[in-house]
Amino acid sequence: MTISLSLNTPILIGSIQLNIISAFNQPLIDLGLLTIDFDILALKEGIRSTQQFVGMHV
């Protein structure tokens, strides 16, 4: 069994900047994930809920 968690609606929005050294270099991408305490708490709660779900007996 594989379970994947993701933070679908993070509070902070990341940024994309041009790499000014050369136009041919990759852009500088900062997703801004897990930089706000609420995002970390939401992901931790998702992990706890998943652990409870997996541990349930049917």
Contacts 24+ apart (CB under 8 A), 33-40: 33/7, 34/7, 34/10, 36/10, 36/11, 36/12, 38/11, 39/7, 39/10, 39/11, 39/12
| Amino acid 37: pLDDT | 93
pLDDT tens column, 7-56: 888 888 889 999 888 878 899 999 888 899 999 999 999 999 999 999 98
- Boundaries of every domain in the chain: 33-58
pLDDT band per the 50, 70, 90 thresholds, residue 58? low
| Amino acid 29: pLDDT | 93
